[in-house]
């Protein structure tokens, strides 16, 4: 049993390595096609946000309908500190993350006393309030006109202006984010979170400090979103409040649902599927319905969300991991059967001899 577990772990590590290698190699496959690269960068940024949300929703069982607010905090913090206060970009990114964590702490203390409907409404309310601030705090955010001229990210004196450089930076963040989430889930905290998800009463009777863990994971998910927001701001160099309202929050939710929140990499899968489907729809729908415009996505993603939740509540990562398990399982069974066959053949041979 333990041996099998170790083998499965070994295989998993191997899968991680292959995945990372594929992502590293992707730009070479597309030969600097900027459209594909920018799509990949977007997937990476969304994957960061949805990985944080996956931790919150899948492992702690808490719903958040205001995650885009943290994405916005990161974006505006980076934009303001680098463009107006001349901070180095990495310091601005860290400051944004710290600010997001602080806001998550302050908001989280009262919010996580609430459950279910009330929690959903409270996070939604938080999202609307933050959106209002992004819109109205014109001195810092530029209001509805948006924030122009955000400088590119500088690292060790190099300014990352090409999509290729930025891709690798985002990749680095995504890998670090996934790795960290993976470790969190397998740690004491992860076990506590799963216990909370299973039953809050049972968990607290076992001495798990529910509020503390929920708060910590909420802060962590805020940091993920904020970092992604900072990177996004430096990448596109122009942001406006509409990017951080309620609808984007719901799009992040859709990613988590598509990807499934029962696995750490569900967020990545969800982000990839969401972005690719969105791009595909943008290309295909105008051919079928000439006047539909890009807005057809809303119907599509709404339907997808409903259908996924009814028929595939664990999302794609649930299906993928089941398929993968079956694949590994059959591989192992074949190997075992082959071993048994050869042993039988050997024993038969021995008997004859």
Q: Is residue 331 a contact point for other proteins (CB under 8 A)?
A: no
Q: Is residue 298 a contact point for other proteins (CB under 8 A)?
A: yes
Of the candidate residues 15, 102, 202, 309, the single one contacting other proteins (CB under 8 A): 309
Q: Is residue 303 a contact point for other proteins (CB under 8 A)?
A: yes
Assess contact for 37 and 27: CB atoms under 8 A: yes
Query: How many residues bind to other proteins according to rule CB under 8 A?
Result: 46
Tokens for 155? 């690292």
From the CB of residue 274, how many other CB atoms can be counted at a distance below 10 Å? 26
Of the candidate residues 17, 102, 289, 319, the single one contacting other proteins (CB under 8 A): 289
Report the residue number, 83 or 217, with the smaller CB distance to other proteins.
Answer: 217
Of the candidate residues 299, 319, 327, 339, the single one contacting other proteins (CB under 8 A): 299
SS3 218: helix
Of the candidate residues 53, 63, 193, 281, the single one contacting other proteins (CB under 8 A): 63
Q: Is residue 210 a contact point for other proteins (CB under 8 A)?
A: no
Of the candidate residues 91, 102, 106, 129, the single one contacting other proteins (CB under 8 A): 129
Report the residue number, 152 or 286, with the smaller CB distance to other proteins.
Answer: 286
Q: Which residues inside 65-124 make contact with other proteins, applying CB under 8 A? A: 65, 110-111, 113-114, 116-118, 120-122, 124
Least separation in angstroms between CB 267 and other proteins:
16
Compose the 254-283 pattern: x for residues touching other proteins by CB under 8 A, - for all others: x--x--------------------------
Of the candidate residues 59, 167, 218, 301, the single one contacting other proteins (CB under 8 A): 301
* Residues near other proteins (CB under 8 A): 57, 61, 63, 65, 110-111, 113-114, 116-118, 120-122, 124-126, 128-129, 131-133, 135-136, 246, 250, 253-254, 257, 289, 292, 295-306, 309-310, 313
């Amino acid at each position: 049993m333990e041996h099998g577990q170790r083998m499965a772990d070994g295989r998993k590590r191997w899968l991680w390595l292959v995945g990372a290698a594929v992502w590293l190699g992707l730009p070479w496959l597309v030969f600097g096609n900027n459209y594909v690269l920018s799509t990949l960068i977007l997937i990476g940024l969304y994957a960061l946000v949805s990985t944080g949300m996956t931790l919150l929703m899948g492992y702690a069982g808490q719903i958040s309908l205001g995650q885009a607010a943290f994405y916005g905090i990161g974006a505006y913090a980076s934009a303001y500190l680098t463009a107006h206060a001349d901070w180095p970009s990495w310091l601005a990114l860290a400051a944004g993350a710290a600010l997001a964590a602080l806001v998550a702490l302050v908001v989280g203390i009262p919010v996580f006393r609430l459950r279910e409907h009330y929690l959903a409404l409270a996070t939604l309310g938080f999202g609307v309030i933050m959106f209002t601030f992004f819109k109205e705090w014109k001195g810092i955010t530029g209001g509805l006109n948006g924030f122009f001229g955000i400088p590119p990210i500088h690292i060790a004196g190099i300014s990352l202006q090409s999509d290729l450089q930025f891709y690798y930076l985002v990749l680095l963040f995504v890998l670090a984010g996934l790795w960290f989430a993976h470790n969190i889930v397998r740690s004491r905290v992860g076990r506590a979170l799963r216990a909370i998800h299973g039953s809050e009463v049972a968990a607290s009777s076992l001495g798990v400090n529910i509020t503390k863990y929920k708060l910590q994971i909420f802060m962590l998910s805020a940091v993920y979103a904020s970092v992604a927001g900072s990177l996004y701001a430096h990448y596109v160099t122009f942001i406006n409040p509409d990017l951080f309202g309620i609808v984007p929050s719901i799009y992040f939710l859709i990613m988590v649902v598509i990807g499934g929140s029962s696995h750490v990499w569900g967020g990545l899968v969800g982000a990839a599927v969401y972005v690719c489907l969105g791009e595909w729809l943008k290309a295909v729908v105008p051919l079928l319905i000439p006047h539909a415009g890009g807005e057809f996505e809303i119907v599509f993603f709404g339907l997808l969300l409903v259908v996924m939740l009814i028929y595939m509540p664990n999302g794609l990562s649930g299906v993928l991991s089941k398929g993968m398990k079956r694949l590994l399982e059959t591989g192992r069974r074949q190997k075992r059967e082959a071993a048994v066959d050869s042993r039988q053949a050997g024993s038969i041979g021995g008997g004859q001899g």
